[in-house]
Amino acid sequence: MRHHPAGVVVITADVGGRPVGLTATSFTSVSLHPPLVSFYVADSSTTWPTLRRAGVFGVQLLGAGQEDVATRFASRGADRFAPPTVWSPGPDGVPLLDGAVAHLVCARHDARMVGDHWLVIGEVTHTLVLADPRPPLLYHRGGFTTVASREAEHHRER
Ligand SMILES: Cc1cc2nc3c(=O)[nH]c(=O)nc-3n(C[C@H](O)[C@H](O)[C@H](O)COP(=O)(O)O)c2cc1C
C-alpha cells in the first residue's frame, strides 16, 4: 500500500454537540446515482465509538500545506478541534475545517464490518469547493506529498 498514492481527508461529525474527527486515506467514491462515497475506519479507533453514532458526517479534502491538520487529526490525546485548528459548523451542523480544497456533507447510508475495519458509506447531500483550489494533499510511501499543478506543468513545458 506504500506504493498506492491516496488523497488525504479528515472525516468530521458533531455528536451531541461535541466535534469528532479523524484523518483517513481510505476515502473513495462509490456510486453516482445515488451519489455515494465511502471510507474505512479501524475497529480499534477510539473515535469510532462516537463517530458511529453520527447520522451525518463531513469529508474535508485536504490541500497541499495541510500536513499539520492531517497529523493532528491522526494524533491520539490531541484536542483536534482546539486552536490552531480553525473550523465552523456547516450544513446540518457538521464541523467543517478551514482551508480544505473541498468539503462534502454526507448522510450515513450504511456501515458494516469488513475484516478489522468498518466500511462507512454516505450519501452526499452538500458539496462545497474552493473557488481557486490548491493542489491536493496526498499520502505516498509513508509520507505526505502533492502533485504539480497543471499550471506549473504548463509553464515548465513552454
Ligand atoms: C495519512 C493517514 C491516513 C490514515 N487513514 C486512515 C484510514 O483510512 N482509516 C483509519 O481507520 N485510520 C486511518 N488513519 C489513522 C487514523 O487517523 C487513526 O484513527 C488515528 O491515528 C488514531 O486515532 P483514533 O483512536 O481517534 O482513531 C490514518 C492516519 C494517517 C496519518
Q: Residue 74: which CATH number?
A: 2.30.110.10
Closest CA to 123 of 27, 29, 35: 35
Sequence-distant (≥ 6) Cβ neighbours of residue 1 within 8 angstroms: none
9 lines ligand 1 (CB under 6 A): no
Closest CA to 124 of 92, 86, 80: 92
Region of poorest pLDDT, from 65-69, 72-76, 123-127, 149-153: 149-153
List the domain range (segments joined by +) for residue 135. Answer: 6-157
Rounded to whole angstroms, the Cα distance separating 12 from 89 reads 10
Sequence-distant (≥ 6) Cβ neighbours of residue 116 within 8 angstroms: 42, 43, 44
Closest CA to 85 of 97, 94, 75: 97
Answer yes or no: is 135 within a domain.
Answer: yes
Q: Whose CA is nearest to atom 17 of ligand 1?
A: 74
**C-alpha 151 – ligand 1 centre gap (Å):** 32
Answer yes or no: is 53 within a domain.
Answer: yes
22 lines ligand 1 (CB under 6 A): yes
What is the predicted pLDDT for the residue at 111?
A: 98
Give how many domains the chain has, as a whole number.
1
Residues 27-46, mean pLDDT to the nearest whole number: 98
Answer yes or no: is 1 within a domain.
Answer: no
Q: What is the mean pLDDT of the chain?
A: 94
What is the predicted pLDDT for the residue at 132?
A: 78
139 lines ligand 1 (CB under 6 A): yes
Answer yes or no: is 13 within a domain.
Answer: yes
Instruction: Say if residues 109 and 37 touch (Cβ distance below 8 Å).
Output: no
Answer yes or no: is 97 within a domain.
Answer: yes
47 lines ligand 1 (CB under 6 A): yes
